[in-house]
Structure formats: structure tokens, C-alpha cells
């Protein structure tokens, strides 16, 4: 059965930024396909909701409330997986983001913060997890990047550059870790997460995003999570070093801040 390729029975996944949005949807989806999960985010109450869903599927969840800007805390998630479940098979580097800013407000310090939160956190978790993944034969890493890693728009210098770096980082370490560990990324388009609530709750901005997306709507987190399942499972077993675009066909930024010429 082709559906068997999507099963993850006996696997263990770590998902960062798993309290809400794409991370929470990915944790739920992986559990529904049979995986036990380590879920991490800043807010314990958000993780409790996700954990409850995971348990309802018959799977196990270890919830870790930490500041994922702290690289030591990120690295510790690998040890949590070892202690709770004895292995790591899947890593989903979902935590990230950076608020778009005009050029002169994008300081070098802010640019470094964006790289830290989007790229360094992923590398820290991968470095800690890969040795444990190799102990059981290998596994899969999925990095959640963004369509803004390949599109250009005013105000996106920090966010876009960091996501572009994460996408190319994916391609680079896929070479380092082949053939035992597959590494892929998802370049997500505009998705209805809590990070976009300020936009989606404003009719004019929501309409702009929908109209600038060829499919004329914003993605649901579950649609990105479906890509995570594919790349994590045997359904995607012949893929590595790829960035899958789940973006509604976007070829321009879907949010134009109307920043004027200098």
C-alpha cells in the first residue's frame, strides 16, 4: 500500500517551535503517522495542548518549555529524546522568524539575530542530533524555510537573507550527511499561523496576501505539515538536498509594506 510509505511507526521526532502554527501541526501530523515526539517552544501551555493531541493518537510526547534562542537549550533537546525514547530519527527545525524592517532600521545586530534564530539554532540541534541518528542507522532532517528565501521585497533584508541561508545550508549539509541522513527543506508561503494574526485579522492586508498568491488563499499549517511527513518518511526516501516550495505558486512577496524610495 502506498500509504504505508508515510507511516512512521517506531520513529522519534524532535520539533522546535512546536507550540503553535507549523510546528504544532507538524508534531500532530508526525504523531498521527506513528512517531513519538519531543516538542519544544517557549510557552508551556501551548505545548500542553499539542501534547494532549499527540497522546490522543496513542503516541508519546515529551514537552520542553525553553527559550529556543539559547543554543544550549536547543542542543539539550537531543538528550531529552535519548532519555525519553532512546533514539532520534527525525529533526524538524521549525523555530525561526524575523520582523521585516526598513533598510536603515535593519542594523548589523538585527541581521545577526535573524541568522542566529533561523540558522544557528538549526545547526545546533543538528550537531547534537546527528550522532544519535547515526546510532540507529540514519534519519531525516527537515528545515522550515520560506518563500522569502528566494523572492525579493522591500523590508525583508534580514528575514529573507536568513531564510535563504537556511535553504542553502540544507543543500550543503545534505552532501555532508548523505547517504545515511537525508536533509531537505520546505520553503513555506504565507501560512495562517499566530505570527501572521496581526495581518490576517486586518481585512485589507489579508485580502492583499490572498490576491498576490496565485491560489488566492493563505495556507493552513497542516498543508505545510503534510510536506514534513512526506520528507520525514519513506515516501520521500529518494530525496535529499532539496527545497520543496509549498507556497501557493507565489512569485512575488505576498505582503507589500509600501516602503518608499530612499
pLDDT of residue 176: 98
pLDDT tens string 123-171: 999 999 999 999 999 999 999 999 999 999 999 999 999 999 999 999 9
Residue 258 lies in a domain: no
Catalytic entry in 110, 156, 159, 169 = 159
Q: Is the pLDDT of residue 19 over 80?
A: yes
CATH number at residue 10: 3.40.50.720
The domain of 215 spans 2-246
Residue 256 belongs to some domain of the structure: no
The verdict on residue 175 lying in a domain is: yes
Phi, psi of 14 (to 5 degrees): -110, 130
Answer whether residue 198 shows pLDDT above 90.
no
* Sign of the alpha-carbon dihedral angle for 48, 50, 56, 59: negative
pLDDT for 192 equals 86
pLDDT at 45: 97
Q: In the prediction, which pLDDT does 199 show?
A: 78
The percentage of the chain sitting over the pLDDT mark of 90, rounded to a whole number, equals: 92
Q: What is the pLDDT of residues 72-107, one digit of tens each?
A: 999 999 999 999 999 999 999 999 999 999 999 999
Would residue 78 count as lying in a domain? yes
Q: How far is CA 253 from CA 20, 120, 151, 160, 201, in A?
A: 23, 25, 7, 10, 19
Mean of per-residue pLDDT scores for the chain = 96
Confidence check: pLDDT of 59 > 80 = yes
Residue 76 in any domain: the answer is yes
Would you say residue 221 lies in a domain?
yes
Query: Could you give the number of structural domains in the chain?
Result: 1
Instruction: Specify whether 159 is catalytic.
Output: yes
Quickly count helices (H) and strands (E) in the chain: 9, 7
Q: Is the pLDDT confidence value at 193 over 90?
A: no
Cell 505545548 sits on residue: 47
Identify whether 166 is part of a domain: yes
Asked, for residue 133, whether it belongs to a domain, the answer is yes
Amino acid at each position: 500500500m502506498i500509504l504505508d510509505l508515510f507511516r512512521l511507526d517506531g520513529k522519534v521526532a524532535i520539533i522546535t517551535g512546536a507550540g503553535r502554527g507549523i510546528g504544532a501541526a507538524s508534531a500532530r501530523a508526525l504523531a498521527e503517522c506513528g512517531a513519538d515526539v519531543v516538542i519544544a517552544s517557549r510557552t508551556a501551555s501551548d505545548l500542553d495542548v499539542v501534547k494532549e493531541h499527540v497522546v490522543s493518537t496513542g503516541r508519546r510526547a515529551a514537552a520542553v518549555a525553553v527559550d529556543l534562542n539559547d543554543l544550549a537549550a536547543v542542543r539539550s533537546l537531543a538528550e531529552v529524546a535519548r532519555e525519553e525514547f532512546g533514539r532520534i530519527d527525525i529533526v524538524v527545525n521549525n523555530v525561526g522568524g524575523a520582523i521585516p524592517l526598513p533598510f536603515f532600521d535593519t542594523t548589523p545586530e538585527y541581521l545577526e539575530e535573524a541568522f542566529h534564530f533561523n540558522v544557528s539554532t538549526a545547526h545546533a540541534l543538528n550537531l547534537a542530533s546527528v550522532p544519535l541518528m547515526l546510532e540507529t542507522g540514519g534519519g531525516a532532517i527537515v528545515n522550515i524555510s520560506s518563500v522569502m528565501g528566494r523572492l525579493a521585497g522591500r523590508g525583508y533584508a534580514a528575514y529573507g537573507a536568513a531564510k535563504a541561508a537556511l535553504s542553502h545550508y540544507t543543500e550543503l549539509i545534505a552532501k555532508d550527511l548523505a547517504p545515511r541522513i537525508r536533509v531537505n527543506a520546505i520553503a513555506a508561503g504565507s501560512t495562517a499561523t499566530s505570527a501572521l494574526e496581526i495581518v490576517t485579522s486586518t481585512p485589507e492586508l489579508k485580502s492583499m496576501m490572498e490576491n498576490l498568491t496565485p491560489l488566492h488563499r493563505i495556507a493552513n499549517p497542516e498543508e505545510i505539515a503534510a510536506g514534513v511527513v512526506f520528507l520525514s518518511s519513506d515516501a520521500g526516501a529518494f530525496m535529499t538536498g532539496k527545497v520543496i516550495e509549498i507556497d501557493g505558486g507565489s512569485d512575488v512577496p505576498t505582503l507589500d509594506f509600501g516602503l518608499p524610495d530612499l
